[in-house]
Structure 1
Amino acid sequence: MEISRAPLRRLGVAAALVCSAALLAGCSGSSSSHSSSSSTKDGSTTAQAAVPMAAADLQSDYLKVIRDVLPSVVQIQASSDLGSGVVYDDQGHIVTNAHVVGHEKTFKVTTANSEDELRATLVYAYPDQDLAVIKLDKVPDGLKAASFGDSAKVEVGQIVLAMGSPLGLSSSVTQGIVSATGRTVSEGPSGGAIGATIANMVQTSAAINPGNSGGALVDLAGKVIGIPTLAATDPNFGGGPAPGIGFAIPASMVKTIAGQIIKDGKVTDSGRAALGITGRTVVDDDYRAAGVAVVEVKKRGAADKAGIRAGDVLTGLGDTDITTVTTLAEALAAEKPGDKAKVTYTRDGVEKKVDVTLGEQ
């Protein structure tokens, strides 16, 4: 399955709320003469009464989270793109996706509580992690910063809400669950550039549509647990949307990167492992991807120190076969700077192996 940024698909919310409430209430949709339940004064059973009570409790939770968090989610308008952002602090810093800001420096921002357009300026974009921070030129009264959660506590099955501006519809909310954690996902190419490879992403069934990028994935405690970034596409259906599969950058990474950008104006410690090369995918005689040719080696980088040279073809990192630039990026995403990894490569048709101490991207 391939991953891209913008499959178009709408999702109804109200019906999903009712279904989720019924599931939490333990409603099976069937009955038996042997089932036990007690009667209330009005003749209804406690089992029957529990369903609307559970539905009301869940709806109350949803409404509270939306009231608490939605004011912290903004719409970001660039000259040719539209996305979402999350208010990071009371100084007017807003975190969003790097692909939302693109190469632009100034933006129009609309908050959930006002239709007035505010002006914002780019602080720094970090495409390797698809994150960026912009700052409002003037902070409006009542601007509310979001509260970010602990990604390590995110669990599969947890109910989540995605908030943003899909298709330009500001302050929209969809719902779903966390369907997986720890995903390593590569973005599709954009503008001729290879997309970022991002580790430890949160997979969710909440709808992520164009314009949701950079918004908030929120748990029922009102904590932002991720920044919605990608939606899956199914190549078997012409690249159309793969329903119910979206990905969000975990809150821990968001806080790490945004905190550095706000403090230092750039990313000073990415935590991402690197070989220190520029490479391109090469194919074999049958035109199948067969490795990554080293085009350039960064001086005093990890590959340079290990003796890897331009012209070598990388075919393995640890136990992972390397066939493309993307598989190399995904293998490196599972490592940390300072880790030792065995790199397999060919030089002049001869296979070689070397231990490399990985650097930082």
Structure 2
Amino acid sequence: MLGAFLFAVALPKLIELELLPYEFYLISEDHGLMSENLVANQDETFQFIHSITPISVDIATQVTDIVARVTPAVVGVENIQTRSFNFWDQAVYDGGTGSGVIYRKTDDRAFIVTNHHVIEGADQIEVILADDTRLIAELKGSDLYTDLAVLEVDGTDIDVMIDLGNSELTKVGEPVIAIGNPLGLGLSGSVTQGIISGTQRSIPQDLSGDGLADWQADVIQTDAAINPGNSGGALINMSGQLIGINSMKINQAAVEGIGFAIPINEALPVIQELESVGFMTRAFLGVEAYSLIDVPKAEWQQSLLLPDEVTGGIYIQSVEPFTPADYAGLQTYDVIVELDGEPVHTIVDLRKFLYQQKGPGDEMVIKFYRSGEAEEAIVELTKQ
């Protein structure tokens, strides 16, 4: 009530008596400013003009500092392919673009990690730096299962490398930044921000295109926007460290904000082997096998003669001659249920056990069923 009184009664009276220590302005009908003292005589020169001074505001934040520091280490990767129609005619076309991350430099050479599917089928690979410089890249190595590839380029003009973090320390809800080239090089260096939505996610992947899962990728889930072209780009923590290689997203109309990155702790051993050897050295068994769950349940007992206690496993479709499986005596339609005492239920279980826990020259105990009887065999694995 006191405020209303002062505003409605006291203030106009003080203005009328010119007791205020400043000039009071009215808004004219043409929206110009004029002094109360000049309302009666508009011909007088208006002497007092309130000037507007621009103010510089510092909007630097932790995110902008990280982006400025890290962006030069994120590059574009262009897949160039050629197709020959006859001896003279060739067609050259863009096989797609993606992203990559400069993770190491030695002398005048720089090394970049990207996704296998970004460079797959390329006849030539070009790397585009943050300043639009194009460099011809040499493919050091690539791996289908981990979806990783390593490139080497001339590092003379490269002086920024990314710092590697520890993906095992990531927590759900932790803020992260994704940097890459969504939808091509026209949007290069795009930055999105989100959080860690989940750690240690296992995503089934159909690598052969037959509609069956061939592998399970262990990934970090994030809601930071990841789109085509972001593949191979960087997932950064708030210390500016690389914790993941952006790899894929769920692309469905009803799904939003579900993207995945390969954890750097999982990727680093693969990167090092691809850089030094050119391929992944993995253990080899020598069977063509399928998950038991892909066989009609009625056939489990009628054809494979499995007892009721068997709830999953891998049935052998064929055994390659002169392989560890052949030397160990495995046969067609044997059903593998355990490896070194660990139960296996799908072909993905078998691959992950061979590729992640075994190496060439290792022995492995296989428990399997043949004609309804449980048996064991010891195999000595070789190199794939």
Give the structure-2-normalised TM-score. 0.64
Give yes or no for contact 1:204–1:244 (8 Å, CA) kept in 2. Answer: yes
For 2:247 and 2:176, locate their aligned partners in 1 and report how far apart those are by CA, in whole Å: 15
CA displacement 1:136-161 (0-9 Å, x = unmatched): 2x335144211111222222221111
C-alpha distance in 2, partners of 1:311/1:197?
22
Alpha carbons 1:161, 1:219 under 8 Å: kept: yes
Cα distance change of structure 1 residues 106 and 296 upon mapping to structure 2, 3 Å threshold: farther
Q: Is the 8 A contact 1:130 1:196 kept in 2?
A: no
Distance in 2 (CA, whole Å) between partners of 1:194 and 1:95 is 28
2:169 to 140, 153, 175: 153
- Preserved contact between residue 74 and residue 85 of structure 1 (Cα < 8 Å): yes
User: Which of 97, 101, 116 pairs up with 1:82?
Assistant: 97
Q: Are 2:324 and 1:325 aligned?
A: no
- CA offset at residue 333 of structure 1? 6.8
Q: Percent identity of the aligned residues?
A: 33
Distance 1:298 1:148 in 2: 44
Secondary structure class of the residue paired with 1:80? strand
Contact 1:156 1:177 in 2 (8 A): yes
User: Is the partner of 1:182 in helix, strand or coil?
Assistant: strand
Code of the residue aligned with 1:261 in structure 2: it is: L
Question: Which residue of the partner structure matches residue 254 of structure 1?
Answer: 267
Please report how far the alpha carbon of residue 346 of structure 1 lies from its aligned counterpart in structure 2 after TM superposition. Answer: 3.9
Q: Secondary structure at the match of 1:109?
A: strand
CA distance in 2, matches of 1:339, 1:154: 33
Deviation string, structure 1 residues 330-357 (Cα, Å, up to 9, x no partner): 566775559998755443x425353767
Give 3-state SS (helix, strand or coil) of 1:212's partner: coil
Cα separation, partners in 2 of 1:97 and 1:325, compared to 1, 3 Å = same
SS in 2 for 1:203: strand
1:173 partnered with 2:215: no
| Alpha-carbon offset, residue 295 of structure 1 | 2.5
2:65 corresponds in structure 1 to 64
Q: 2:296 aligns with which of 272, 284, 309?
A: 284
| Counterparts in 2 of 1:262 and 1:228: CA distance versus 1, 3 Å | same
Judging changes above 3 Å, is the alpha-carbon distance between structure 1 residues 184 and 334 closer, same or farther for their aligned structure 2 residues?
Answer: farther
Q: CA offset at residue 94 of structure 1?
A: 0.9
In the alignment, which residue of structure 2 is the partner of 1:119? 136
| Equivalent pair of 2:110/2:158 in contact (CA under 8 Å) | no
In the alignment, structure 1 residue 350 sits paired with structure 2 residue 372: yes
The residue correspondences of 1:171-320 to structure 2 (distance < 5 A) are 171-189=189-207, 197-233=215-251, 239-240=252-253, 242-268=255-281, 275-281=285-291, 282-284=294-296, 291-297=314-320, 299=322, 301=324, 303-304=325-326, 307-314=329-336, 320=343
Structure 1 pair 84–306 and aligned structure 2 pair: CA distance change class (3 A) = same
Superposed CA RMSD: 3.5
Q: 1:312 and 1:247, CA in 2 relative to 1: closer, same or farther beyond 3 A? A: same
TM-superposed CA distance for 1:179, in Å, is: 1.9
Deviation string for 1:266-297 (max 9, x for gaps)? 334x6xx7655332455226799984434234
Of residues 280-289 and 167-176 in structure 1, the stretch that sits farther from structure 2 once superposed is 280-289
CA 1:254–1:327 in structure 2 vs 1: closer, same or farther (change >3 Å)?
Answer: closer
Equivalent residues of 1:105, 1:122 under 8 A apart: no
* Structure with more contact order per residue of length (Cα contacts < 8 Å, sep ≥ 6): 1
The amino acid that maps onto 2:225 is A
Distance 1:113 1:344 in 2: 58
CA contact (8 A) 2:289 2:314 kept: no
TM superposition score normalised by structure 1? 0.68
Kindly indicate whether the alpha-carbon contact (under 8 Å) linking 2:116 and 2:142 is maintained by their aligned counterparts in 1: yes
| d(CA) in 2 for partners of 1:153, 1:240 | 32
- Pair 327,243 (structure 1): closer, same or farther in 2 beyond 3 Å: farther
Task: Indicate how the Cα distance of structure 1 residues 340 and 218 shifts in structure 2: closer, same or farther if over 3 A, else same.
Answer: farther
Distance 1:241 1:146 in 2: 35
Q: How many residues align?
A: 292
1:80 offset after TM fit, Å? 1.3
Give 1:246 shift.
1.9
> In the alignment, which residue of structure 2 is the partner of 1:16?
none
Q: Which structure is larger by alpha-carbon Rg, 1 or 2?
A: 2
Within 2, Cα distance between the matches of 1:184 and 1:305?
33
Relative to structure 1, is the Cα distance of residues 341 and 76 closer, same or farther in structure 2, using a 3 angstrom cutoff? same
Specify the SS of the correspondent of 2:257: strand
